[in-house]
Structure 1
Amino acid sequence: MAAGELAVGMIARMLRGVEIAAVARNAGFDCLYIDLEHNSFSLETVGQISIAATALGITPVVRVPGLDPAQISRTLETGAQGIIIPHMETRADAEKVVEAAKFPPLGNRSLLGINPHTLFKGGPAAEIMEKMNRETLVAGMIESMTAVENADEIAAVEGIDMLLVGTNDLCNSLGVPGQHDHAGVREAYAHVAATCRRHGKFLGVGGLNSRPEIAKEMIGLGAHYVSAGSDTGFLMSAATATAQLYRDKG
């Protein structure tokens, strides 16, 4: 993303083995988005997948369940190279997250010098903290009209790297569930995109894997990241299509 390229992510919600990292890499994804908001993965599972992904050259990022500082820091300690925070609504939320996710001087995260994030390579504390601050992605999800209205204040917080629009919950907030092509959704995306450009932050697109034509439209606003689908969705889609193939007559 730093080079201006689009990063494409695969969400992991079902497959718990390290094999998912190899699947994502060889399918051509740039990162593996491990979703702790909508499944029951343990931190041990997150750690194993994260270490495998890092070793294979695919970036592991984790959506944590909420704003709990302990959950954020412990997730990063497993080896995740980024965190995604659901339902970030205010500047105060953003500041709280940065405090937990970044080392001094940006935040107040405690340093474990030999850690999975660096594949257990040590070094001087100041260098490790500077490197990990630079390489740890912190993304806030914009999933409501309140968050859209506060996007400028959220993006202004140093240490927030990306605003990721969660389209499904945004639709719910607008009172138009499932209407991904609603004008209000497009307006919200345009506003968040302009905010990201103004503050030099990345724009992320989420929740549009079932509507790739709309996703590409939103990417056209300058997005640097898109969630392209989940292991569950890919499996069900392929399995359903294959079963139907054998049932079709002719």
Structure 2
Amino acid sequence: MTHASLKQMTRTPEVKLGHFIVEFATPGIGHILRQAECDFALFDLEHSGFSFETVKSATRYFEAAGLPAIVRVPSKEYHHIARACDVGAEGIMIPMVNTAAEAKSVVDCTKYHPDGRRGVALSVAHDAYGLGPVPEKLAAANERTTLFCQIETAEGAENVDQIAAVRGIDALWIGHFDLSVSLGIPGQFDHPNFLKAVERTIAAAKKHRKALGRLVPSTEIGIALYRQGFDFCCYSGDVWVLRDALAAAMTTLRKGCTT
């Protein structure tokens, strides 16, 4: 079965639903998410402790299931970004992008000549170890790699219009907790300053025809955010879904067995 690529997804307004992987990089994870009818996976390197060796394996799991995956790298450093590309990540998410210059640097790290300055590595994981003309391989890699910039600082929110205008950036992604902390209002997602920053980001995404995403803690919030303009909705994370489902079952069983 053929599934849409991340690049194709960023070019349509329809909702794309995914799940956040921070703990369970098991061989079956791609098929589990595909059976749950996810459209994509977000695989975290910033807070999970996963290594690049784990990313390399997990990327194969997602590919086997036909599930596009976004890898959030730990920093804006070249060696983190380019290595994620080399091990096969289809999507790259960059934390805390603050300026258009930083966004342009991200493009340089992920794109081959003539679109960037990524060091050339061919017939490895990212191109399925295949052969072919070098110019065609470089162009194919540039087209495949899909870039998500996280807007999660006060500076990033202030400069979001210029960030969204950078050629090669495919999507914006609000990091809501870090954004609220940077604004000095930790966890206050209904605060006027937070809402203003979100509005600026939505407007920038619409103006420059970029996709827009966010982690969503509940289905109700996800639906509301989609109606605001967030077309990439990443529902919860593996740890929290397991914990909450198991806690609910334990509560029901304990109550039923003790009354």
Query: Which bin holds the TM-score, normalised by the shorter protein?
Result: over 0.9
DSSP 3-state at the match of 2:199: helix
Q: So what's the TM-score if we normalise by structure 2?
A: 0.90
The one-letter code of the counterpart of 1:138 is: L
CA-to-aligned-CA distance 1:11-48 (integer Å, 9 cap, x gap):
11111222211211111111111100001111111011
Corresponding residue to 2:240 among 233, 239, 250: 233
DSSP 3-state at the match of 1:163: strand
Q: What is the alpha-carbon distance in structure 2 between the residues aligned to residue 176 and residue 149 of structure 1?
A: 16
Q: What is the alpha-carbon distance in structure 2 between the residues aligned to residue 71 and residue 175 of structure 1?
A: 29
Aligned twin of 1:9: 18
Q: What is the alpha-carbon distance in structure 2 between the residues aligned to residue 214 and residue 15 of structure 1?
A: 25
Q: What is the alpha-carbon distance in structure 2 between the residues aligned to residue 60 and residue 117 of structure 1?
A: 13
The one-letter code of the counterpart of 2:213 is: G
Corresponding residue to 1:125 among 123, 129, 134: 134
Report the Cα offset of residue 164 of structure 1.
0.2
Aligned twin of 1:213: 220
The one-letter code of the counterpart of 1:204 is: G
Structure 1: gaps of 5 or more residues: none
Report the Cα offset of residue 101 of structure 1.
0.7
Q: So what's the TM-score if we normalise by structure 1?
A: 0.93
Corresponding residue to 1:148 among 144, 152, 157: 157
Report the Cα offset of residue 176 of structure 1.
2.5
Q: What is the alpha-carbon distance in structure 1 between the residues aligned to residue 120 and residue 158 of structure 2?
A: 35
Aligned twin of 1:34: 43
The one-letter code of the counterpart of 2:178 is: D
The one-letter code of the counterpart of 1:38 is: H
CA contact (8 A) 1:83 1:137 kept: yes
Corresponding residue to 1:244 among 235, 238, 251: 251
Aligned twin of 1:98: 107
Report the Cα offset of residue 92 of structure 1.
1.8
Report the Cα offset of residue 69 of structure 1.
0.2
DSSP 3-state at the match of 2:83: helix
DSSP 3-state at the match of 1:11: strand
Aligned twin of 1:60: 69
Q: What is the alpha-carbon distance in structure 1 between the residues aligned to residue 114 and residue 174 of structure 2?
A: 28
Report 1:176-215 matches (<5 A).
Answer: 176-206=185-215, 208-209=216-217, 211-215=218-222
CA contact (8 A) 2:92 2:146 kept: yes
Aligned residue pairs: how many? 248
CA contact (8 A) 2:212 2:231 kept: yes
Bigger drift between 153-162 and 16-25 goes to 16-25
State the Cα RMSD in Å.
Answer: 1.6
Q: What is the alpha-carbon distance in structure 1 between the residues aligned to residue 34 and residue 104 of structure 2?
A: 33
CA contact (8 A) 1:10 1:230 kept: yes
Aligned twin of 2:176: 167
Corresponding residue to 1:224 among 225, 228, 231: 231
DSSP 3-state at the match of 2:228: coil
CA contact (8 A) 2:30 2:64 kept: no
Q: What is the alpha-carbon distance in structure 2 between the residues aligned to residue 80 and residue 112 of structure 1?
A: 14
- Percentage of matched positions with identical amino acids: 33
